[in-house]
Amino acid sequence: MPEFLSVAAVIRATKRQAMRSAVLQETPCAQTGRRLTRNEALELFATQDLLRLGQLADQAKRARWGNQAHFVINRQINPTNVCVLSCRFCDFATKRGRPNAYEMTIAQILDRLSPQLHEVHIVGGLHPDWRWDYYLEMFRAIKAQFPQIQIKAWTAVEIDYFSKKFRMSVEEILRQLQAVGLTALPGGGAEVFSERIRKALFPFKIGAPRWLEIHRIAHRLGIPTNATLLYGHRETHEERVDHMLKLRELQDQTQGFMSFIPLAYQPGRTRVVARQASAIEDLKTIAIARLLLDNVPHIKAYWVTMGEEIAAVSLHFGADDIDGTIGEERIMHAADAPSPVALTRERLVALIQEAGCIPVERDAVYHPLKTYAAANGHARCESSVSQ
Ligand code: SF4
C-alpha cells in the first residue's frame, strides 16, 4: 500500500520544512506498507503541507480509480420535516402545526421522480404518526411506476426509530423494505461517533454502537450502505479520526460500505458554530479519509455542503465521487447552504472535466452506466456500459 508509506513523508515534511523538497521527491514505494495509524492521521490534520497531502491522497485514489470521477442522476426526497426529536444542530426539523411543517403524500413523491433518474435518496424527519404501511407503499409505488430507479433510503436513525415504533427487529424492518425495493442505505445519522458531542448536540438520537450495529445487520442482509461524518461543528480532529477508525474496523469485517461522505456542517440558525469549516479543512478531511479508509472504495465530495468548486478541487485530494443532480435538497438548505438545490447532468460532467478527470455516470451501487470524454469543454458521451 504505497500511499501509506508516503504519509510518513508528509509528517516529516511538517516537522522539517527544510527537508521539504527532498521529501517530495521520495517515491511512495520507498516506505513501509502498513496502514495509517491514529497518530499519523492526527499529524496529517496538523500538516501545513496541504499540497503534498493532496498528492498522496490523489495517488491512493488513482490506484483504485485512475482518472475517473463518479456522479449519479438522482433525486433527493425528504418526505417530511416533522420530527419527534429536536436535535440541537438541526435546522430542518419542525413540529406538526408549525407554518414550515410539511408532509408529502405518495403522489407528491411520485410527481418529483422521472424515468431519467437512476437513484432516489429518501431521508426525513421521524414522523410521529405515519404507519408502517405508508413506508412500504411508498416503495411499492416508486418501483411500480419507475422500476429503473434504485431506492437508497432511511438512515440508521430512521431504521432504529421504525424498529422501536413498529415493534419489529432491525432485521425484519430491513427485510420488509428490501422486499418492496430497497437497494441501499444512505450514510446519514452517524454525525460524529463521540459521546461528548452526542450528549451536547443530539442526546436523544442513537450513538455509535447502534448506528454501527444497524449497518452491520444491513451488510449481513446484502444491503450495501454508505457512511457519513458531520464535521466542522464542535468535534475535534481526534473525534474525526476515531470516527473513521470505527468505520474502518467494521468495514474490515463486512466490506459493506460503498462510500464515505464527509459532510461539512452548515451553521444555519443553530448557532452551534459561527461559520462553516474552511476549504482547507474540507480538503484535509477528504484527503485523510482516502488515506485512512483504505478499505472503503469511494470517497465522496458532497457538493451540496462543500460547494461545487471545492468538490471539484477535492477530486485532486482523494475524492472519486461528487454525488449527483440531487433535484431538490431541503435538509442542508434549511440551514442556508449557499449551494444550488440542483445541478444538471451537463454541469456535473463539466465540473469533473474541468478538474481534468473522466466523468463516469453511475447508479446507486456504483455500477458504471456511461463514461464521458475527459476533454475540457462540452460534455460528450464517449462510451456506454450497460447495467
Ligand atoms: S437531525 Fe434528524 S432526528 Fe434530529 S431533529 Fe433533525 S430530522 Fe429529527
Q: Say whether both 163 and 289 belong to one domain.
A: yes
Q: Say whether both 55 and 119 belong to one domain.
A: no
Pick from 76, 96, 102, 157 the residue to mutate for probing ligand 1's pocket: most ligand atoms within 8 Å of its CB: 157
Atom of ligand 1 nearest to the CA of 126: 8
User: For residue 231, what is the domain's CATH number?
Assistant: 3.20.20.70
pLDDT-derived band at 11, boundaries 50, 70, 90: low
The H or E element containing residue 136 is: helix 132-145
Identify the CA nearest to 194 among candidates 250, 253, 234, 228: 234
The pocket around ligand 1, CB under 6 angstroms, is made up of 83, 85-87, 90, 92-93, 125-126, 157, 202, 205
- For residue 360, give the C-alpha cell: 463516469
Q: Say whether both 264 and 147 belong to one domain.
A: yes
Q: Say whether both 26 and 78 belong to one domain.
A: no
Q: Say whether both 76 and 50 belong to one domain.
A: no
Give the distance (Å) from ligand 1 centre to CA of residue 207: 13
Residue whose CA is at the smallest distance from ligand 1 atom 2: 125
Write the secondary structure of 201-215 as one string of H (helix), E (strand) and C (coil): HCCCCCCHHHHHHHH
Sign (positive/negative) of CA torsion 301, 127, 152, 295?
Answer: positive
**Domain limits at 287?**
69-384
The overall average pLDDT reported for the chain is: 90
Q: Say whether both 247 and 288 belong to one domain.
A: yes
Q: Say whether both 80 and 60 belong to one domain.
A: no
Amino acid at position 26, single letter? E
What is the pLDDT at residue 335?
A: 78
pLDDT in tens, 139-181: 999 999 999 999 999 999 999 999 999 999 999 999 999 999 9
What percentage of residues in the chain have a pLDDT greater than 90?
Answer: 79
Domain boundary among 31, 65, 99: 65
What phi and psi values does residue 167 have, to the nearest 5 degrees? Answer: 55, 55
Atom of ligand 1 nearest to the CA of 89: 1
What phi and psi values does residue 358 have, to the nearest 5 degrees? Answer: -100, 115
Question: Other CB atoms closer than 10 Å to residue 66's CB: what's the count?
Answer: 11
Atom of ligand 1 nearest to the CA of 155: 2
Q: Say whether both 54 and 83 belong to one domain.
A: no
pLDDT in tens, 191-210: 999 999 999 999 999 999 99
Give the distance (Å) from ligand 1 centre to CA of residue 163: 17
CB 35 within 8 A of CB 294: yes
Atom of ligand 1 nearest to the CA of 86: 5
What is the pLDDT at residue 378?
A: 46
CB 2 within 8 A of CB 31: yes
| Out of 88-97, 247-256, 264-273, 310-319, least confident range | 264-273
What phi and psi values does residue 91 have, to the nearest 5 degrees? Answer: -95, -5
Q: Say whether both 287 and 321 belong to one domain.
A: yes
Q: Say whether both 52 and 78 belong to one domain.
A: no
Q: Is the pLDDT reported for residue 370 higher than 70? A: yes
pLDDT in tens, 13-27: 555 543 443 323 333
What is the pLDDT at residue 313?
A: 97
Phi-psi category of 264—alpha, beta or left, where left has phi over 0 and alpha has psi -120 to 50? Answer: beta
pLDDT-derived band at 89, boundaries 50, 70, 90: confident
Q: Say whether both 350 and 211 belong to one domain.
A: yes
Give the distance (Å) from ligand 1 centre to CA of residue 87: 5
Give the distance (Å) from ligand 1 centre to CA of residue 44: 32
What angle, rounded to 10 degrees, do the helices at 208-220 and 170-179 form?
50
Atom of ligand 1 nearest to the CA of 205: 3
Burial zone of 272 (CB within 10 Å; 0-12 exposed, 13-18 middle, 19+ buried)? middle
**Domains held by the chain: number:** 2
Pick from 76, 205, 206 the residue to mutate for probing ligand 1's pocket: most ligand atoms within 8 Å of its CB: 205
pTM strictly above 0.85 = yes
Pick from 81, 82, 83, 266 the residue to mutate for probing ligand 1's pocket: most ligand atoms within 8 Å of its CB: 83
Q: Say whether both 315 and 329 belong to one domain.
A: yes
Identify the CA nearest to 373 among candidates 386, 383, 363: 383
Domain boundary among 22, 50, 65: 65
The average pLDDT across 289-307 equals 96
Give the distance (Å) from ligand 1 centre to CA of residue 17: 45
Domain boundary among 65, 98, 118: 65
